[in-house]
């Protein structure tokens, strides 16, 4: 893209892009740490994730302020306007990702050192890795204004939903087998749901990236494969 006649406008846009990059890095990091804390039952690491969420929230406020100030000052049009609006939207999604990671961390503290009655570590690990990859990929696609890359992420969200649905079934089965595991399994179920929600935010970011590049909104219904909301317990 050619430079603006007013060079400080370019500087404003670069600052915003840099802030999104930083926020994205922190959100990806929090997600990985929260999952690690969960799988290793590491309460100390969980506390770090909770503390670090504050920084992600602060970044969201800074991005919003900078974006509003830039709109007021420059009255951006077309691609410029879309870019600035996209930073507000993506900052919103990343802030939610931070919250979801924090929620996983809180549950790590809540279950403390209770012995685990079930073994779903591999399923949760896979889900988290998959979600982290989606998030990194979509942030890269956004940074490079790569519409195809963003659409790939958008289409791949169904696979995450499938993983979540299968974890849901598995945990439900454990709970039915041994009601004493219900407390523990519920925490894990929420953790899985939180991770799945991060995937949805990655999809949102993909839609935003598509909007920046093309000026169009993705009108098709996003691919959904989370069937847990329609699922009944096996007996009924």
Partner 1 sequence: MDAQVKFSLRDAPHEMIERAVKVRAENVNVFYGAKQALKDVNVGIPERGVMAFIGPSGCGKTTFLRCINRMNDTIAIAKVTGRIVIDGENINDRKVDVVELRSRIGMVFQKPNPFPKSIFENVAYGPRIHGLATSKSALEEIVVSSLKRAGLFDEVKERLHDAGTGLSGGQQQRLCIARAIAVEPEIILMDEPCSALDPIATARIEELMEELAKIYTIVIVTHSMQQAARVSQRTAFFHLGNLVEDGPTDVIFNNPKDKRTQDYITGRFG
Write each residue from 51 to 80 as x if it is in contact with partner 1 (CB under 8 A), else as -, in one continuous string.
-----------------------xxxxxxx
Site for partner 1 contains 150 (CB under 8 A): no
Site for partner 1 contains 219 (CB under 8 A): no
Write each residue from 16 to 55 as x if it is in contact with partner 1 (CB under 8 A), else as -, in one continuous string.
----------------------------------------
Query: In the chain, what is the greatest distance between 2 CA atoms, to the nearest angstrom?
Result: 69
Q: Are 102 and 30 in contact (CB under 8 A)?
A: yes
Site for partner 1 contains 81 (CB under 8 A): yes
CB of 75 to partner 1, least distance (A): 6
DSSP letters along 148-186, please?
A: HHHHHHHHHHHHHHHHHHHHHHHHHHHHHH-GGGHHHHH
Q: Are 35 and 97 in contact (CB under 8 A)?
A: no
CB of 215 to partner 1, least distance (A): 3
- What do you get for the CA distance between the two ends of the chain, in Å? 60
CA distances from 29 to 16, 34, 136 (A): 20, 9, 10
Query: Interface with partner 1 by CB under 8 A: which range of 29-37, 163-171, 210-218, 228-236?
Result: 210-218
- Give residues in contact with partner 1 (CB under 8 A): 1-6, 9, 74-82, 214-216
């Amino acid at each position: 893209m050619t430079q603006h006649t007013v060079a400080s406008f370019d500087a404003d846009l670069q600052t915003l892009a840099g802030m999104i990059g930083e926020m994205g890095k922190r959100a990806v990091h929090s997600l990985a740490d929260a999952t690690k804390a969960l799988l290793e039952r590491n309460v100390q690491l969980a506390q770090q994730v909770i503390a670090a969420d504050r920084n992600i929230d602060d970044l969201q406020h800074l991005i919003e302020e900078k974006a509003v100030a830039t709109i007021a000052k420059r009255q951006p049009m077309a691609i410029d306007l879309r870019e600035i609006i996209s930073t507000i939207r993506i900052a919103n999604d990343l802030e939610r990702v931070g919250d979801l990671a924090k929620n996983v961390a809180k549950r790590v503290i809540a279950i403390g050192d209770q012995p685990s009655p079930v073994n779903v570590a591999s399923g949760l690990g896979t889900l988290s890795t998959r979600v982290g990859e989606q998030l990194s990929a979509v942030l890269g696609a956004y940074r490079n204004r790569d519409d195809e890359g963003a659409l790939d992420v958008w289409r791949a969200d169904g696979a995450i939903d499938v993983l979540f649905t299968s974890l849901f079934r598995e945990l439900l089965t454990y709970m039915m087998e041994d009601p004493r595991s219900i407390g523990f399994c519920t925490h894990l179920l929420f953790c899985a749901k939180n991770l799945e929600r991060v995937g949805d935010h990655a999809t949102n970011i993909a839609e935003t990236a598509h909007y920046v590049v093309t000026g169009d909104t993705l009108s098709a219904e996003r691919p959904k494969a989370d069937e847990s909301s329609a699922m009944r317990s096996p007996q009924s």
